[in-house]
Amino acid sequence: MPVVWCALAAVASVAEVLLRTVGAGVSVEYALVLLLLALAGTLVALLPARPAVVILAAADLLSLTVLDVLTGAAAVVLVVVLVRAGAVWTLALTVPFVVVAVGWPAPVAVLVAAAAPAAVCAGVAWRADKEARVHRAAREAVATTLVEHTARGERARIARELHDVVAHHISMIAVQAETARLTTPELSPLGAQRFSDIGDRARAGLTEMRRLLGVLREDTDATADLQPQPGLAQLVELLDDARQSAGARLIVSGAPVPLDPGVELAAYRIVQEALTNARRHAPGAAVDVELRYGKELRVRIRDNGPGPGDSAGHGLAGMRERAAAVGGTLRTGTTAVGGFLVEATLPVEEA
């Protein structure tokens, strides 16, 4: 109970004791004991509710049975603390008051005997409602967090798929349009201009897509669930597309084994992104794609171009995310003889 209410209850209890004892011819010792019990029956409510209710019930029962005096303020404080305790076991503390009220039907005894059980039931209901509200708030918080986490993961997945699939094809359009403009014999100026426009539009689309990817990837650090789509079996087709603009070859060493679809998807997307980077930053460079099977699957993509690749863009971050999502690692950098190397180490867990 608040300190102010306890203090007011103590004052009222002491005043009631004084009114009953002054001029009633009682001894000083008796009056002093009544005052102490009156104070104990009110100020103890400052303690935590459950230990306080035991002390208050004992003090009030002692006042009622031994001294035949129980102040109204002490009875009200006991009822209030029974509500605050909110425990079923406190019903046992009310039984003696019911017995006393039956044997000695004083108004205050009847009041406590009638109000105390109701106070216990009200306290239990109040505490149960409070806990239910806390649990409901916790469930709502968890549900909100789960929805936000799912949304971030879905945004990250969409961003990777846009970058790896759509951007890959748009980049192919730009490269092939430029290649066709330069290599098609007897191409009219109008045809060359149209191929140039196609390339410009494709590059503008890539610029807008990078802006969109920046929005999608903002505040998303989740690695979305990878659904098996393409796998290593589709690498030949991917390299066939790459050969239209530059030299590309596939090197396989070790004994191939069926892999988990998520690992195959990660390997495919890493190769796809590395080829896209090579076309963008080292046009015309030859590219070697090597799959080395063993205790781990090593995927190495090396070109003989001049640059460091997409070190400032989303491509390398996306490749690292894909490798990490399946329990692998990825490293990138220039080689000792020039060119750029992307090497992923992925776990080999047979499907």
pLDDT in tens, 260-283: 888 888 899 899 888 888 888 877
Please tell me the least confidently modeled range out of 64-73, 224-233, 298-307.
Answer: 224-233
Task: Kindly indicate the confidence band of residue 314, based on its pLDDT and cuts at 50, 70 and 90.
Answer: low
Main-chain phi, psi angles of 283, to 5 degrees? -60, 135
Q: For the chain, report the end-to-end CA distance as a whole number of angstroms.
A: 65
Query: Looking at the DSSP assignment, which residues form a beta bridge with residue 296?
Result: 347
Task: Kindly indicate the confidence band of residue 189, based on its pLDDT and cuts at 50, 70 and 90.
Answer: confident
Neighbours of 228 (CB within 10 A): 13
Task: Kindly indicate the confidence band of residue 223, based on its pLDDT and cuts at 50, 70 and 90.
Answer: very low
Predicted local confidence at residue 190, as pLDDT: 87
Torsion angle, alpha carbons of 198, 204, 210, 214, to 10: -150
Percent of the chain with pLDDT over 70: 79
Please give the domain boundaries of the chain with CATH numbers for all domains. 3-132 (no CATH), 229-351 (3.30.565.10)
Q: Distance between CA 61 and CA 95 in Å, rounded?
A: 11
Sheet (strand 248-253) strand order: 248-253, 287-292, 296-303, 340-347, 329-334
The structure tokens 């008051």 sit at 97
Predicted local confidence at residue 289, as pLDDT: 92
Predicted local confidence at residue 17, as pLDDT: 66
246 pLDDT above the threshold of 70: no
Predicted local confidence at residue 225, as pLDDT: 42
> CB–CB of 55/40 below 8 Å?
yes
Q: Distance between CA 67 and CA 69 in Å, rounded?
A: 5
Task: Kindly indicate the confidence band of residue 344, based on its pLDDT and cuts at 50, 70 and 90.
Answer: very high
Q: Distance between CA 155 and CA 80 in Å, rounded?
A: 54
328 pLDDT above the threshold of 80: yes
Q: Distance between CA 309 and CA 136 in Å, rounded?
A: 51
Among residues 171, 169, 170, 195, which one has the least CA distance to residue 182?
195
Predicted local confidence at residue 307, as pLDDT: 60
Predicted local confidence at residue 94, as pLDDT: 79
- Check residues 239 and 331 and name the one with the higher pLDDT: 331
Task: Kindly indicate the confidence band of residue 309, based on its pLDDT and cuts at 50, 70 and 90.
Answer: low
Quick one: average pLDDT of 326-348? 88
